[in-house]
Amino acid sequence: MEQNLDATAREGSPNPQQSSIARPGIPEPTESHLPPHLRASVTAVPVTPGITSEAYDSEQSDRLADGATSPSYFSRKVVDHAIAASPPPLDPNSEGAAPDNIAAGEEQGKEFNRRVSKAAMGFRAESMSEIRAISPDLELGGNIISATFNIPHSLKYRKGADWELRPRQGQSALFDAFSYLSSDEAPWNHTCVAWTGEIDFPLDILSPPGTPPASATHPRPLNVLSAPIPVDGSRAPPTPPLVDGLRIPREDMHRLEHQLSHDKRIKTVPVWLADDVDGSGDGITLKDQTRWRRFAEHDLYTLFHYKQHEPTDGRAERTQWADYYRMNQKFANKILEIYKPGDIVIVHDYNLMLLPSMLRQRAPHMYISFFLHSPFPSSEFLRCLPRRKEVLEGVLGSNLVGFQSYSYSRHFSSCCTRILGFPSDTTGVDAYGSRVEVGVFPIGIDATKVASLAWKDPVNEKYQALKKMYAGKKIIVGRDRLDSVRGVPQKLMAFERFLEMYPEWREKVVLVQVTSPTNIEAEKEDTENKIASRVNELVMKINGMYGSLGFSPVQHYSQYISQDEYFALLRAADIGLITSVRDGMNTTSLEYVVCQRESAGPLILSEFSGTAGSLKDAIHINPWDLTGVAEQINNALTMSEDRRQAMEQSLLAHVTSKNVQYWIAGFLRRLVNVLGTRKNVISTPLLDRATMLKRYTSAKKRLFMFDYDGTLTPIVREPSAAVPSERVITSLKALAADHRNAVWIISGRDQEFLSQHLGHISELGFSAEHGSFMRHPGATTWENLAEKFDMGWQVEVMEVFQKYTDKVPGAFIERKRCALTWHYRLADPEQGLHMSRECQKELETTVGRKWDVEVMTGKANLEVRPTFINKGEIAKRLVTTYNQELRALNASAGGSGATKLEFVLCLGDDFTDEDMFRSLNVLSAPSDGQSEIESDNCFSVTVGASTKLTLARWHLLEPEDVVECVALLAGVGGGGSGAAGGALSMGEVNLAAMSVVADHIPK
């Protein structure tokens, strides 16, 4: 329940007469299609008690009577040498000057600037030549593309007119970093790629013909429903058109793009998010604009803050995931439109966690980094996310991943190991044949900008009003969003405990708590109402128990406050109290330190905030320990002046030196160092299912080559237990039933095993024992490709294998017609691995020199086979044979058909499959201007969680992903049956890929 300011002021003000001043500056309410946190009628309401509307005229208060700007101790000219300067704020009138008679006086102002200069002296923006000198081979272009979810502006649209751009609330530190990168102080050319956000637009009131214009004689009605409507009795009343979304013509889209690209503060390229059915050549229709943030805020944000929703039937989650996947793809498309080799791409926060991998899939040599501004949970909690694997794989497309604190980076590395199976340590993760570095980069604030804004004339006036209102009382300030992670209920309960434990402070301390509505979708559903009710109950309880007719110990304002009011509160506070139960980087604590440069009010900070690791000299508390928090409040109130000043000096030195410019410069320097050390290492990107599906649907003739063990089925301890699942069989049947598809199983298994488990699918082709035997689709007999080769070597190999089998309990021999395999997967792992190396050495020095055979190491096995027989030769034979058939058919059809395969998909998991990948790479490389396969139509995919280097062009994690991909192409639903159930029968990842291809969610 939102409190009325006047009522609150009367209840809690020491001076009832002063509290009766009317609430100033309330804007006229207008209809809006935005959520509350973006509405001007909500965000522009001032809450400082006793301030009249004249105090909000910053333009007047910032200038002297003669029009000259008032001098300031904290103007940009004084501190530019200390901290990298910030470009002007979005509002050209927002930067004012402090009055001459500030409380601290001129000497304190100069002292503060001296401290700022000394603390920040270590930061110097490097030139581009110095950055390039770190690693000349990188050939850096000097351009940075920052991808973030929202543009720095809130937009208001009027057809045919310039767009109204207003500063977006929140993410001030990130946007300050963008401003620095875009300024002349930084050596980079910077571009921001971001979604437009929800676009506000007025509801135009359609007046009937003949309605007089609004004027002094014809005033516009205060309520539109009371407007007179002339009635024509000869015809029916007009029916208003049905409004279904916001239609924006192409020329207005170009107008916004031009405005944003010429923005003096941050050059921005907008991403337009809509279904293809909502867009055409003449414009775009925006429907349900908040849909693009739902998965990130409903699933990721809540889980990252250690909250878990009740399980559902999954229908909404499937659609939300498809929108999230498609939104990341649209970001990738926009970035690739402006990307040039040598550019650096920085992806920000949980809304775009799939983007690094999507960019890596399409530009393998791109320099990509990712920074997460929120917490990252432990593996035990991340396991609750159904799409946990895809989210981790998406981030691992980066070269460098940054976090706010060490615990978050450690959790990420642990999740990659425990969930994906990738080796990791505290500095990075080994993935896809490369190394993804992980680092800790605590974000800062623009201390220069805060110092300038916090001592403007309007802020000084509000500061004096607050001090007058609460004269003789200690002020504890809290400013939080009203969601479940900010710890507002814990703060109130701790304050109640403080008043209970220390009665001497009653009616001498006031808690001013400002709670703004949350902008997180998931929090708006039901949690916010519960938290708001809980907060109001606690406020009434505390005020009822410890208050009186003339004083209320808790002043609660449930609304947004202006920037001037915010800084006035921070300056007026005697204690800053932050009790978040889970938080990323709480910039309020950093701004509080700057605002307390005169008063040196202690900062009480939750140990669960990401800022706690940086502000080590603050008073750290556990918000769940109410008694402990109460004791620290008393400690802060009774702290000596010397101790408070020492704490403030230390905190201020950190905040002014480790500012936002220092943060982004350090992050970029680390990225350049990482890129320089791994210049020649190319990671294997995840298979782009959407691209694969596009190529598949457009192809007339297709070839599939699948390994069996570790690809279509998981590796098992007992080889005979590797039985194909019903979904594998159903998917292969559906795929092979298409006459345009040639589907082959190329395995090290013998003919008997393949015939027993898959032989009933007559449309499949088989290659057994690594290419020793072949059975063509529709045939029933096997062709022996090694029948002319002398197999006398098998006797000698059997003797060696038997010797080691006797030495290793659990080892056994598998005899095939053209190969022999020694398995040790049932043996002790350490003993089996050691003895396999000894056996390999013996075979290579004896049988390998005498016979034309090769000794191959597999997954917990050794295999000996003839050298001329391998999977690569089979892949080459199949491609050339099918191409010859296609050319013959094309010639007989008069040249109107395909002359070569238009889609090839090859999947395998171990080194024997590398022969196939090698052959396909050769066949897709142009020779004399021609190739057997077009490179873009050839998908070679390695499977498994190993960090091996591979010749494949793509990567999948496990056999389950392989089956999903086959099902996607074959149109098989999640249950193993056909896709008759529509989108609901398709797996979530496949549904997302299909939505990218169709550019809308299939029904």
* 889-925 residue pLDDT tens: 888 877 777 789 999 999 999 888 998 999 999 999 8
More confident residue, 180 or 62: 180
**pLDDT (0 to 100) of residue 546:** 92
Given a contact cutoff of 8 angstroms between Cβ atoms, the answer to whether 177 and 185 are in contact is no
Does residue 393 surpass a pLDDT of 50?
yes
Does residue 677 surpass a pLDDT of 70?
yes
pLDDT category, 998, cuts 50, 70, 90? confident
792 to each of 735, 798, 819, 851, how far by Cα in Å? 41, 11, 12, 9
Query: CA 597, CA 570: separation in Å to the nearest integer?
Result: 11
**pLDDT (0 to 100) of residue 737:** 92
**pLDDT (0 to 100) of residue 136:** 82
Cα R_g (the chain), whole angstroms: 34
Burial of 604 (0-12, 13-18, 19+ CB in 10 A): buried
**pLDDT (0 to 100) of residue 81:** 30
Highest mean pLDDT among 29-33, 83-87, 272-276, 871-875: 871-875
Residue range 406-423: mean pLDDT, rounded: 92
What would the pLDDT profile of 375-384 be if each residue is shown by its tens digit?
Answer: 999 998 899 9
Residue range 963-973: mean pLDDT, rounded: 85
Proportion of the chain above pLDDT 70, given as a percent: 79
**pLDDT (0 to 100) of residue 562:** 87
pLDDT category, 715, cuts 50, 70, 90? confident
Residue range 436-440: mean pLDDT, rounded: 95
Query: CA 26, CA 51: separation in Å to the nearest integer?
Result: 12
pLDDT category, 222, cuts 50, 70, 90? very low
**pLDDT (0 to 100) of residue 177:** 93
Query: CA 887, CA 394: separation in Å to the nearest integer?
Result: 41
Given a contact cutoff of 8 angstroms between Cβ atoms, the answer to whether 871 and 877 are in contact is no
Q: Any idea what the Cα angle at residue 405 is, between residues 400 and 407, rounded to 5°?
A: 100
Does residue 721 surpass a pLDDT of 90?
no
Query: CA 683, CA 666: separation in Å to the nearest integer?
Result: 25
Proportion of the chain above pLDDT 90, given as a percent: 48
Given a contact cutoff of 8 angstroms between Cβ atoms, the answer to whether 754 and 745 are in contact is yes
**pLDDT (0 to 100) of residue 38:** 52
Burial of 205 (0-12, 13-18, 19+ CB in 10 A): exposed
More confident residue, 135 or 637: 637
More confident residue, 560 or 56: 560
**pLDDT (0 to 100) of residue 124:** 63
**pLDDT (0 to 100) of residue 929:** 63
Does residue 354 surpass a pLDDT of 80?
yes
**pLDDT (0 to 100) of residue 581:** 87
More confident residue, 951 or 7: 951
Residue range 593-604: mean pLDDT, rounded: 92
Dihedral pair phi/psi, residue 166, rounded to 5° = -120, 145
Does residue 15 surpass a pLDDT of 60?
no
**pLDDT (0 to 100) of residue 34:** 55
Dihedral pair phi/psi, residue 804, rounded to 5° = -80, -25
460 to each of 97, 102, 103, 135, 348, how far by Cα in Å? 10, 8, 9, 49, 35
Residue range 241-264: mean pLDDT, rounded: 84
Both tokens of residue 440? 């800790």
Does residue 23 surpass a pLDDT of 60?
no
More confident residue, 704 or 974: 704
What would the pLDDT profile of 260-303 be if each residue is shown by its tens digit?
Answer: 999 989 999 999 998 765 555 688 888 888 889 999 988 898 88
Residue range 690-706: mean pLDDT, rounded: 93
Both tokens of residue 832? 């089996």
Both tokens of residue 130? 């110095």
Given a contact cutoff of 8 angstroms between Cβ atoms, the answer to whether 862 and 827 are in contact is no
> How would you classify the pairing of strands 367-371 and 344-348?
parallel
22-26, 486-490, 571-575: which has the minimum mean pLDDT?
A: 22-26
Burial of 638 (0-12, 13-18, 19+ CB in 10 A): exposed
Q: Any idea what the Cα angle at residue 727 is, between residues 721 and 731, rounded to 5°?
A: 120
Does residue 634 surpass a pLDDT of 90?
yes
95-109, 251-265, 652-666, 723-737: which has the minimum mean pLDDT?
A: 95-109
Does residue 63 surpass a pLDDT of 70?
no
Both tokens of residue 814? 């598998």
Residue 231 identity: V
Which residues are CB-neighbours of 929 under 8 A, at least 6 positions away?
A: none
Q: Supply the mean pLDDT for the chain.
A: 80
More confident residue, 79 or 240: 240
Q: How many CB atoms lie within 10 A of CB 927?
A: 9
